[in-house]
Amino acid sequence: MSELTHEELFIIEKLNQNGGKMSYKELQTLCEEKFEGVRLILKKLKEKKYVEYEGVIPGFLAEIELLRDNEISKISQS
């Protein structure tokens, strides 16, 4: 498994806390005070097969879905 950045872990944790699904708009609001580049981070997470959404880069109305929450739980506990 590849190394995840602090920002990637934050996004995964927020998705996990919200039942594995959130709208891009909600996720962006949670991240905006912590870091920038949420779309790019989500694109990287999709390439690593941690999340799924329609298209290459998530649109403002996109639904972001967490795919690998079992492995994420192991990371969070480390």
Each residue's pLDDT tens digit, 6-30: 999 999 999 999 999 999 999 999 9
Residue 72: pLDDT band with limits 50, 70, 90: low
Domains of the chain: which residue ranges?
6-77
- pLDDT above 60 (res 32): yes
Edge-first strand listing for the sheet containing 63-66? 21-23, 63-66, 51-52
Confidence (pLDDT) at 68: 72
**Strand pairing partners for 63?**
23
pTM above 0.75, yes or no: yes
Q: Distances from the Cα of 24 to the Cαs of 6, 7, 30, 41, in angstroms?
A: 19, 15, 10, 12
**Strand pairing partners for 34?**
none
The residue with greater pLDDT, 69 or 8, is 8
Q: What is the CATH number of domain 6-77?
A: 1.10.10.10
Per DSSP, the three-state class of 5 is: coil
Q: What does the pLDDT average to over 52-76?
A: 79
